[in-house]
Structure 1
Amino acid sequence: MKKNILLIGGSYGIGLEIAKQLSEEYAVYVASRTSEKLNETNITYIPFDANTDVLDITNLPNELHGFAYCPGSINLKPFKMMSLDTFESDMQLNFFSMVKVIKEIIPLMAKESSMVLFSTVAVGSGMPYHTSVAAAKGAVEGFGKSLAAEYAPKIRVNVIAPSLVNTPLANRLLSSDKKVENMSQRHPLKRIGLAEDIANTAVFLLSEKSSWITGQIIGVDGGISTLNLS
């Protein structure tokens, strides 16, 4: 019998890549706004908007073995140009909507199950113009560690902190070859991330291969958070 994994936001980018990889081995449930790219056999689609909807758990199996919350935002502006509404919307999507979903599904989490949340490299490494997203994702990191402590050993909880990844969410930052090259050169590995890079780590954390890992903030960032080659 296949194990059940729930992804919030799996219709494009990192979430879609996670869903595709997981569908080879697991029964995957994707709750997201759209479904046009979800063609794999073992994926069940649930219409869901993280900002406005309450997840209907009657559409889910009685037991979940894995969970990942994938929605995110990239609002990069100088602090003096950042409205309070932007801070509130970033916090709502990245943190409060995540907490709301976890409140609903945590009674379904099986023994020795796994949760994966997403942060950003900008939480651990101060970066200009990231005040809003860093604040929201900083809340995710603190929440993830505390949840991991509270639910050990039943549920493992880990947080992935990527750097810039070539997904639709980052289109504005990577809209030309020059921008891609400039961003690539900032990273010690001299390229920006791919959805597959992040999905590979998420799938590992959702699997039994990571059964001795919990409460961690894992940087998948081309080395930018820890290496200074200048």
Structure 2
Amino acid sequence: MSLDYDKKDCFTVDGKLALPYTYFAGRVGSKFITTIRDQKKIMGVKCNKCKKVFLPPRQTCECCMEDIRNNWVEVGNTGEVVNFTVVRYNDGHLPRKAPYILALIKLEGADTPFAHILDGLKPEEAAIGMKVEAVFAKETTNTILDIDHFAPSKTKKLQVSKRAPAEKAPAAAKTKYQPELDERRKAMSKKVIITAALTGAATMKTQNPAVPYTPQEFAEDAYKCYKAGAA
């Protein structure tokens, strides 16, 4: 599918939005960051019902809907890469110059992975399953970058999988959240509507040449999304 148009009538303006802002990280997020800054420790929170340890920490267990904001546990500084991508474009808000590796890392003692920079190796050397360890920043930034990056572990025999298995959770009792959980499970079995954001989040062509700008590009991309199953 294509549209005919006269390019001289197609007026576009290249621009970039700069939105500086300050926000409160919350009590849980604040303790997470300040503990990294002051003690060089990485903390998660544990649900006493399902026994899962969440990292980054959160206020509520997404499985049991229990309040876990005060159930702090220390996790290891070493872990395993469960997935990664290579960032290949430069932008002022990014923490590194491209190319650099952004990895999902599951730390020893945690049940969920979190995203951070993987450094100390070439992009082509990164691999799922590789063992890595935290490298803390020499100077604080009061952000998650107080962990400067993760690097390949110097301890070759590190075995993340040797963590003691989680205790078996007792049979879940009915709680006030049970109706909501039941509705969520039902919703997962229903048909869904897939939508497509053709331009992403204000992404520029300099960042991704595939971003549509012109009416013809929008029409062609929309048709491709429709053929792929989007609404």
* Higher helix fraction (1 or 2): 1
Do both share a fold (TM > 0.5)? no
With the shorter chain as reference, the TM-score category is under 0.3
TM-score scaled to structure 2, two decimals?
0.24
Flag the structure with larger Rg.
2
TM-score scaled to structure 1, two decimals?
0.24
